Amino acid sequence: MEQTSHDRLYVERTLAIIKPDAIHNAEDIEDVILASGFIILQKRKLQLSPEQCSDFYADQYGKVFFPSLTAFMSSGPIIAMTLACDNAIDYWKSIIGPVNSTKARETDPNSLRAKYGCNDLKNALHGSESFQAAVEEIKFMFPNSIIEPFPSRDATEEYLSRYVNPVLLRGLTELCKDKPLNPCIWLADWLIKNNPNRPKISDGVIVEEEE
């Protein structure tokens, strides 16, 4: 599924899984995730049944390795996480490295699969392949989650610059002039009274301000 320019205004999400063979290294792996700039939005530890694994890897059904894959993924606990950052899907895939851990140690020795994986089956970690796969996989692991986009850093900075900073600057200027005994409470009250999105009341009638 190709992303539109609208999608790129928002921070991307991907599903990460620490597989049974790397579960004992979960703390170290999470440290790498956080140090790489990801936000962990959701996390849960669980053990999938063979049937659940079959459903999760339904796109691999019929391939020679499918029985071994479902048996391995249901052999012990896993940790599923929703990660977020700019370009999260491709960035996470670059951090975990090639699918085959043996090849990863040759071509990408600093990757997580090179460090924690054993082979092409027991390769320590999972990452979503595409935007659509990420949406479906996050829903699978976190069925009660509501996947709503949230603004990227640039979009957030633009919003703050346009709508928040001017009001805050006025409030801080008035604060310096007034020099109240309790500046925090004074500023909070001032912001409530001067909220530009607050409807104005005229003769008992609420008047919505036009943008």
- CATH number for the domain spanning 167: value is 1.20.890.10
* Residue ending a domain, choose from 150, 166, 181: 150
For 106-138, b where at least 16 C-beta lie within 10 A, e where not — what string? eebeebbbbbbbeeebbbbbbbbeebebbbebb
Q: What are phi and psi of 81, to 5 degrees?
A: -140, 140
Q: Is 30 part of a structural domain of the chain?
A: yes
Beta bridge partners of 82: 15, 42
Is the pLDDT higher at 171 or at 34?
34
How far is 21 from 116, CA to CA, in rounded Å? 8
Q: 84 φ, ψ to 5°?
A: -135, 135
Active site residues: 126
pTM, to two decimals? 0.68
Q: What is the pLDDT of residues 150-205, one digit of tens each?
A: 555 666 677 678 777 888 888 899 889 888 889 899 988 888 888 877 665 555 55
Determine the Cα–Cα distance for residues 31 and 34; give it in Å rounded to an integer. Answer: 5
Judgement on whether residues 180 and 79 belong to the same structural domain of the protein: no
Which of 111, 130, 150 delimits the end of a domain? Answer: 150
Domain count, the chain: 2
* Residue 135 within a domain: yes
Tens digits of per-residue pLDDT, 50-109? 999 999 999 999 999 999 999 999 999 999 999 999 899 999 999 999 999 999 999 999
Q: Give me the domain span that covers residue 193.
A: 154-198
Residues 98 and 159 in one domain: no
